Amino acid sequence: MIMEFNRELDARGLHCPLPILKTKKALADMTSGQVLRVLATDSGSVRDFQAFAKQTGNDLLSQTEENREYVFFMKRK
């Protein structure tokens, strides 16, 4: 399944909390309903993105992992 997105954030090589902080900043620059695709390599980011979605109300539409690379799709509330 190919998911449409409005913007992409490359957070590969960054460690906690930088992927979340950069995601928060990117989402702030987007309009409601837009989708952000985030690429990350920090294994802790799976748990972090789930918590971030709950705390902020932004929707975590999808999260996948392939070859220790994580892809998240976040929808701005």
Q: How confident is the model over 66-73, as a mean pLDDT?
A: 95
Task: Answer yes or no: is 31 within a domain.
Answer: yes
pLDDT of residue 1: 67
- Whether residue 1 lies inside any domain: the answer is no
Q: CB–CB of 16/41 below 8 Å?
A: no
Residue 40 belongs to some domain of the structure: yes
Residue 29 within a domain: yes
Whether residue 16 lies in the annotated active site: yes
Number of domains in the chain: 1
Q: What is the pTM of this model?
A: 0.95
Helix/strand/coil percent split, the chain, to 5: 30, 35, 35
| Structural domain contains residue 2 | no
The answer for residues whose C-beta is within 8 angstroms of residue 60's C-beta and 6 or more apart is 49, 50, 52, 53, 72, 73, 74
Q: What residues make up the domain containing 71?
A: 7-75
Q: What is the pLDDT of residue 2?
A: 84
Judge whether 28 lies within some domain: yes
The CATH number of residue 12's host domain is 3.30.110.40
Predicted confidence (pLDDT) per residue in 39-63, tens digit? 999 999 999 999 999 999 999 999 9
Average pLDDT score over residue span 61-72: 95
Catalytic residue among 16, 30, 39, 60: 16
> Tokens 């929808």 identify what position?
75
Question: What is the SS3 assignment for 18?
Answer: helix
Kindly report the average pLDDT of the chain as a whole number: 96
